[in-house]
Amino acid sequence: FTKIPAAGFLAQGWSGGVYHPHILQNMPDWSCGICDIINEFLPTSTMPPYDSKVHRGVWRTVTLRCSLRTREIMVIVQHAPPKGGVGALEDGSDDYSKVFEGEKERLVGMLTKGVIPATKRDYPEDHVVDEKRKEEEEAKEGLKVTSIFFQEFGGVSHPGPDHPVQHVFGKKSLEENLGKCTFQISPGAFFQTNTEGAEVLYNIVVERIKEVTKDPKDTLLLDVCCGTGTIGLTCLKEEVVGKLVGVDISEPAIKDAEINATKNGYTEPSTTRFIASAAEKILPETMKDLPRHVPIVAVVDPARDGLHNAVIKSLRANEGIQRLVYVSCNPTATLVRDAGMLCSPPTKKYPGRPFKPTMSQPVDMFPLTKHCEMVMTFDRMSEEEFEKSTTE
């Protein structure tokens, strides 16, 4: 068979080629339109796509981020070093450095020459047209790419969130309206893919916190894996807490969080504080700096790997935290594991009275997939409950 350079999804892994997104009912028209542009560009490019088997070629991945509420679209094009990456040939025959800038300029021109073109969808035969969605799609017409970044990566897997990007067109960030807040999102910063779903998710978190905050103005929210500050700032805006300390490993996300705090009216250092560090490294010291005799509520929203052991140890050891809200994107694996460590009897490794699960709520953040988010609420065992559990 003949290989044709194309953009799409790796439905069968790295060795199975790519599949166009046009058949997927949960992919919007604008994303398929951008895919059409890239698929027009790739077969005519003088530089081939990256081959993960031999680690040669240039074009690697394309990431699309969009806010329909602000009508902004960000495109991030990842590529291997033009001179050749890990698998570069010794004779230099795969050195594309002389043509790279020209090809990059051509791709930018194609992506920005006008509105994203209408696209022909390839829905399955049993697809039913939702009239509401049809109206929403029609309202999205006229969208344009508002920012483009290129990212050079010579490794064999994936770059970290702090890996540098090169801004080549338009705005340097994307803006999104979520709930009562406005958020700036940088290329490497995490943000929920489904804004309407995120509002449902965050409202659940707000309600779980509201249940235990007798004096919201004096209550401090410890937001672990805070990203761009979405959950913490939403809780501040909803007035269920009065102070916020956020921790995240991604420096671009923390920079966004600081900007977002100001953007949403929180300029006092005594109200918001964001720390760029791995939670397991900084949380023990952060806990020591938290004001004593102040009500504390914790929210954790980790990646699929879940919480580090040191984070669980710190959360358990601080018995000032009476409620912990765990937002999980991997509820059948790492949430189960972490819940066991949060709720197990105290040991030298995990001191402090254990938590107990008191409520769980799934949220369908990813329609037409097998995945969902889970909001699980943990409350600290009272001394009476703990003593009773140890004597039974």
**Burial class of residue 102, CB neighbours in 10 A (0-12, 13-18, 19+):** exposed
Q: How many CA atoms lie within 13 A of 100 on its CB side?
A: 18
Distance of CA 309 to the CA centre of its chain: 22
Q: Residue 95: helix, strand or coil by DSSP?
A: coil
Neighbours of 79 (CB within 10 A): 24
Rg (CA), the chain: 24
Q: Is 32 a catalytic residue?
A: no
Tokens of 138: 């029609």
Q: Is 101 a catalytic residue?
A: no
What does the alpha-carbon distance between residue 90 and residue 95 come to, in Å, rounded to a whole number?
Answer: 10
Q: How many CA atoms lie within 13 A of 135 on its CB side?
A: 2
Out of 72, 152, 238, 373, the active site residue is 373
Distance of CA 146 to the CA centre of its chain: 20
Out of 32, 329, 372, 387, the active site residue is 329
Which long-range contacts (C-beta less than 8 Å, at least 24 apart) are formed by 270-273?
270/243, 271/236, 271/242, 271/243, 271/244, 272/229, 272/232, 272/233, 272/236, 272/243, 272/244, 272/245, 272/246, 273/244, 273/245, 273/246
Catalytic residues: 329, 373
